[in-house]
């Protein structure tokens, strides 16, 4: 074992271990000790349950924050058991509690598995409801319309629609996650669910049976409501997700996977309008016009000119993804006249709809949507301001081009004042928890993004023995990451390690381009070397299906990008090697990041040190966290980026990772895999 990096401990120049929490003794501490103790109610309810000091102490701190109606930022290392640590005090003392999760999968797991387990163990008489965004629920009205107009274009869609028609007659919730026979990505879902814009509301003949309204009624009456971050912030921004009625009565709000909050909140406190929305509107105008006012106007002709204007706007940028801030778009670009043309055609469509609106409520709905879209396009400044990227130093205007749509964004540069405003007012407790909130035991980056400077923050270490269970391997001889051929060099370096590990590998990349190149090379090399390792690649199948196949294979290699860096739990020998191609810095062409850094540097701060680096470290901690998921797990984290060694900031990076043994010698890694 080489000593290129000091091993863990004070002599390594690492930060001192986080001091033991010194929270005031809470009135619920004794009860928490009993519940999480060896003879407590959790042990018989959960076969694998063992008392963990970190879990118990975290639960005490959360119970104290709840009793004081305070705020707590709580980082819990992998294996701490943070879910039970917040569920126990929430179910016993939280009052009306909203739990917000990072993903719908975690939301379903909490509602279907974790909360019922804890509730039964504690015999807690609390009612629980699950609330998702409206696009997750079948809409009777849009399903019937789709069945009657017969506009499906593929055989798959016809089969999927048949399954949905059966499902809607049997389902109590209408939640499409329950219908596993129809893929979540199936295009037919867009035709049988509603949006805020095309919901008919109380005028709908199915209003009393509406699954969305039923879910909202249940949420209002429940003691504990499980939502996700997207729904929470969509509602705070739009006052339309069902939370508007929930928030005033909530005593406790818990954010799990809280590290995602700044990005999700930024998304929803900004505004986005897309050409895709215009095309959807045109589709609905044509359907409703032909159904209710066929003789009024030539509906096909009316929508065709608007559709053409929307598509022409998209075509002002080249094929493939493009992200440009407003000042980066040349003043001579065709984008600006095309944008004015789309506004003009939308105005013409509104005139037609106004004249026909009395024919049907659904035509009036289309008129309202058209007016809202036109207002959004008008609100997005169409003329560039020379040398000024940030409007009032608080928002950045930018465009994003996809293969079939163009989105215009207005994004706040800081959500701190907005989020702080949301937290002001009614006293309640706010709990923020995740495995990755701090950078080297420092919570400033996370708390400042949400405007929570000075709020209590604590970290509880993982119970895993990282020194014995794993190795951090940073190979020698790799070129700088911006070098041509870098990905090929990483694959060459990784192949002997993958072979020694017997497959059982996550190969995590920072870009889709790298994913594709790594997959291409591994296919060639596995065939040439006679390595019988199943290869699974992000994008070739759905995420859940890929993970199930990976677990079942036992010796597979999975190549993925951002969606596999977090929220993935593979325990046991099926995953023994995690390879990370490079440090996950945000792309330099990100217009929002560039504008944020510009503002920070005007204030005398260093954008890289105070924003870019902490963000990368938190993302890296998520990726590294895929490796050791249980006390029995063993494995190697192979971090290929040479900047961890060569750059001054490298020390800060690896000191934020779990305290694995460290090496730069491949032979050490090969020997590790030989040991059992």
CATH code of the domain covering residue 541: 3.40.50.300
Q: Model confidence over 501-541: pLDDT tens digits?
A: 999 999 999 999 999 999 999 999 999 999 999 999 998 87
pLDDT at 385 over 70: no
Evaluate whether residue 195 is within a structural domain: no
Report yes or no: 80 and 52 within 8 Å, Cβ to Cβ.
Answer: yes
Q: Are residues 352 and 391 in the same domain?
A: yes
Evaluate whether residue 158 is within a structural domain: no
pLDDT reported for residue 641: 94
Report yes or no: 410 and 395 within 8 Å, Cβ to Cβ.
Answer: yes
Q: Are residues 455 and 335 in the same domain?
A: no
Evaluate whether residue 174 is within a structural domain: no
Q: Are residues 435 and 476 in the same domain?
A: no
pLDDT reported for residue 35: 94
Q: Are residues 519 and 641 in the same domain?
A: yes
Segment 162-179 mean pLDDT: 90
Q: Are residues 408 and 420 in the same domain?
A: no
User: Helix, strand or coil for residue 342?
Assistant: helix
pLDDT at 386 over 80: no
Helix or strand holding residue 76 (H, E): strand 71-76
Q: Model confidence over 116-139: pLDDT tens digits?
A: 999 999 999 999 999 988 889 999
pLDDT at 158 over 80: yes
38 exposed, middle or buried (CB, 10 Å; 0-12, 13-18, 19+)?
exposed
Which strands make up the sheet holding 577-580, listed edge to edge? Answer: 535-537, 557-560, 505-508, 577-580, 635-639, 470-473, 661-663
Convert 149-163 into a string of H (helix), E (strand) and C (coil): HCCCCCHHHHHHHHH
Q: How many independent structural domains does the chain possess?
A: 3
Q: What is the CATH number of the domain that holds 403?
A: 1.20.120
The tokens for 501 are: 């590990």
Q: Are residues 219 and 287 in the same domain?
A: no
Strands of 390-469 (E only): list them. Answer: 390-391, 395-401, 406-412, 429-434, 457-460
Q: Are residues 633 and 516 in the same domain?
A: yes
Contacts of 421 (CB under 8 A, 6+ apart): none
Q: Are residues 397 and 447 in the same domain?
A: no
Domain span including residue 346? 269-412
Report the chain's mean pLDDT, rounded to a whole number: 87
Q: Are residues 581 and 662 in the same domain?
A: yes
Looking at 239-298, list the stretches that DSSP marks H as alpha helix, in order from N- to C-terminal side: 243-246, 261-269, 275-292
CA-based angle 423:427:428, to the nearest 5?
80
Q: Model confidence over 553-581: pLDDT tens digits?
A: 999 999 999 888 887 888 888 899 999 99
Evaluate whether residue 538 is within a structural domain: yes
The tokens for 673 are: 């895999």
d(CA 228, CA 250): 16
φ and ψ at residue 241, rounded to 5 degrees? -95, 10
Only one residue has tokens 């778009």, namely: 329
pLDDT reported for residue 245: 66
Evaluate whether residue 161 is within a structural domain: no
Confidence of residue 649 (pLDDT cuts 50, 70, 90): very high
Q: Are residues 226 and 359 in the same domain?
A: no
Looking at 357-502, list the stretches that DSSP marks H as alpha helix, in order from N- to C-terminal side: 361-379, 416-423, 444-449, 466-469, 486-501
Segment 80-99 mean pLDDT: 95
Higher local confidence (pLDDT), 422 or 2: 422
Strands 390-391, 395-401: parallel, antiparallel or unpaired by DSSP?
Answer: antiparallel
Q: Model confidence over 362-373: pLDDT tens digits?
A: 899 899 999 999
Q: Model confidence over 322-362: pLDDT tens digits?
A: 788 888 899 999 999 999 999 999 999 999 999 988 888 88
Segment 226-239 mean pLDDT: 79
Segment 167-177 mean pLDDT: 91
pLDDT reported for residue 90: 97
Evaluate whether residue 173 is within a structural domain: no
d(CA 362, CA 634): 59
Q: Are residues 256 and 374 in the same domain?
A: no
Segment 382-390 mean pLDDT: 42
The tokens for 257 are: 């996977």
User: Helix, strand or coil for residue 330?
Assistant: coil
User: Helix, strand or coil for residue 621?
Assistant: helix
pLDDT at 661 over 60: yes
Q: Are residues 484 and 577 in the same domain?
A: yes
The Cβ-side half-sphere exposure at 428, using a 13 Å CA radius, reads 21
Which strands make up the sheet holding 97-101, listed edge to edge? Answer: 128-130, 224-228, 97-101, 252-255, 429-434, 71-76, 457-460
- Determine what percent of the chain is predicted with pLDDT higher than 70: 92
Torsion on CA atoms 272, 406, 387, 331, rounded to nearest 10 = -140
């Amino acid at each position: 074992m080489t000593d290129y990096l000091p091993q863990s401990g004070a002599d390594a120049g690492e930060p001192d271990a986080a001091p033991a929490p010194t929270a005031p003794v809470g009135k619920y501490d004794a009860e928490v000790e009993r519940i999480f103790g060896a003879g407590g109610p959790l042990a018989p309810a959960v076969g694998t349950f063992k008392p963990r000091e970190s879990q118990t102490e975290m639960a005490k701190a959360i119970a104290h924050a709840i009793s004081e109606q305070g705020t707590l930022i709580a980082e819990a290392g992998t294996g701490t058991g943070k879910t039970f640590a917040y569920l126990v005090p929430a179910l016993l003392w939280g009052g009306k509690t909203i739990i917000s999760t990072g993903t719908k999968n975690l939301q379903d797991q909490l509602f279907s598995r974790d909360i019922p387990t804890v509730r039964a163990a504690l015999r807690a008489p609390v009612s629980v409801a699950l609330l998702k965004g409206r696009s997750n629920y079948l809409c009777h009205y849009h399903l019937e319309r789709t069945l009657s107009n017969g506009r499906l274009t593929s055989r798959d869609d016809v089969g999927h629609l048949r399954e949905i028609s059966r499902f809607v007659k049997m389902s109590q919730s209408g939640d499409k996650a329950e219908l596993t026979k129809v893929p979540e990505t199936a295009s037919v879902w867009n035709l049988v669910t509603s949006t805020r814009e095309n919901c008919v509301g109380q005028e709908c003949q199915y209003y009393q049976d509406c699954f969305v309204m039923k879910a909202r009624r249940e949420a209002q009456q429940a003691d504990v409501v499980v939502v996700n971050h997207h729904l929470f912030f969509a509602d705070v921004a739009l006052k339309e997700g069902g939370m508007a009625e929930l928030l005033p009565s909530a005593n406790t709000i818990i954010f799990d996977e809280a590290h995602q909050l700044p990005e999700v909140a930024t998304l929803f406190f900004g505004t986005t309008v897309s050409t895709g929305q215009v095309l959807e509107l045109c589709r609905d105008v044509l359907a409703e016009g032909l159904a209710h006012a066929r003789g009024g106007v030539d509906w096909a002709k009316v929508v065709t000119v608007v559709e053409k204007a929307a598509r022409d706007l998209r075509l002002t940028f080249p094929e493939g993804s493009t992200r440009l801030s407003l000042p980066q778009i040349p003043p001579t670009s065709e984008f600006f006249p095309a944008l004015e043309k789309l506004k003009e055609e939308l105005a013409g469509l509104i005139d037609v709809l106004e004249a026909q609106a009395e024919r049907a409520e659904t035509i009036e709905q289309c008129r309202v949507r058209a007016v809202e879209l036109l207002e959004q396009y008008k609100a997005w400044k169409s003329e560039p301001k020379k040398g000024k990227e940030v409007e009032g130093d608080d928002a950045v205007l930018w465009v994003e081009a996809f293969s079939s749509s163009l989105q215009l964004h207005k994004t706040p540069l800081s959500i701190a004042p907005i989020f702080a405003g949301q937290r002001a007012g009614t006293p309640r407790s706010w709990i923020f928890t995740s495995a990755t909130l701090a950078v080297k035991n420092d919570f400033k980056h996370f708390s400042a993004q949400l405007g929570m400077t000075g709020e209590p923050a604590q970290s509880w270490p993982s119970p895993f023995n990282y020194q014995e269970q794993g190795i951090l391997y940073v190979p020698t001889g790799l070129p700088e990451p911006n070098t041509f051929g870098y990905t090929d060099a990483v694959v060459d370096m990784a192949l002997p390690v993958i072979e020694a590990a017997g497959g059982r590998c996550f190969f995590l990349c920072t870009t889709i381009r790298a994913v594709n190149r790594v997959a291409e090379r591994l296919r060639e090399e596995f065939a040439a070397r006679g390595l019988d390792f199943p290869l699974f690649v992000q994008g070739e199948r759905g995420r859940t299906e890929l993970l199930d196949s990976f677990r079942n294979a036992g010796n597979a290699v999975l190549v993925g990008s951002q969606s596999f860096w977090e929220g993935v739990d593979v325990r046991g020998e099926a995953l023994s090697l995690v390879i990370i191609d490079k440090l996950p810095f945000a792309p330099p062409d990100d217009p929002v990041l560039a504008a944020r850094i510009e503002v920070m540097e005007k204030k005398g701060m260093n954008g890289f040190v105070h924003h870019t680096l902490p963000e990368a470290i938190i993302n890296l901690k998520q990726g590294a966290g895929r490796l050791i998921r249980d006390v029995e797990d063993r494995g190697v984290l192979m971090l290929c980026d040479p900047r961890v060694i060569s750059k001054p900031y490298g020390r800060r990076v690896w000191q934020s990772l779990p305290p694995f043994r460290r090496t730069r010698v491949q032979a050490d890694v090969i020997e590790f895999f030989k040991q059992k």
